[in-house]
Amino acid sequence: MEFCILSIIRRGEAYPSDIVEEMKAANLHILEGTLYPLLTRLKNAEMLSYRWVESNSGPPRKYFSLTEKGEAFYKELQQTLARTCQWSKCTNLKSPTNQLITSTTNFLQ
């Protein structure tokens, strides 16, 4: 999960509900209520930073972006995933974790 979120944010500043939409498009379902705590956790771990962006309707929105530490964490996760992927050869599609890895890999391509 973190990996998917980080990889979306890595490509540019992101608004939480856009992240949910993107993940849905990649067939990964996450509830917004689960995403916010994750983002806050990652932010408190200094992996993410945010800035307020004025929106044309109502109060400003929070846009998240990756910090250097987040970038390092992302690379580390990527390696771990690659290793797990090698091990499982991504063949056993019945396993949810594998499914997640496979769809993440597809998603990144």
Partner 1 sequence: MKKIININLSGRVVPIEDSAYEKLQEYIESLRRYFANEEGRDEIINDIESRIAELMSEKVRKGADSITDADVNEIANSMGRPEDFEGEEIKEQSYASSASTAGSSQQSTQSQAPPKTKRGLYRDTSDKFIGGVCSGIAAYLNVDPAIVRILFAIITFGGFGLGFMAYIILWIVLPAKDVEGYAGKDYSVILKAGMIGGVCSGLGCLF
Which residues contact partner 1 by CB under 8 A?
A: 1-2, 16-17, 30-34, 36-37, 39-41, 43-45, 47, 57-59, 61-62, 73, 76-77, 79-81, 83-84, 87-88, 94-98, 100
Phi, psi of 63 (to 5 degrees): -115, 130
State whether the Cα torsion 75-77-82-86 is positive or negative. positive
Between residues 44 and 109, which has the closer beta carbon with respect to partner 1? 44
Q: From the CB of 10, what's the least distance to partner 1, in Å?
A: 16
Between residues 17 and 106, which has the closer beta carbon with respect to partner 1? 17
2 close to 76: Cβ distance less than 8 angstroms:
no
Between residues 97 and 106, which has the closer beta carbon with respect to partner 1? 97
List of residues 6+ apart from 71 with CB closer than 8 A: 10
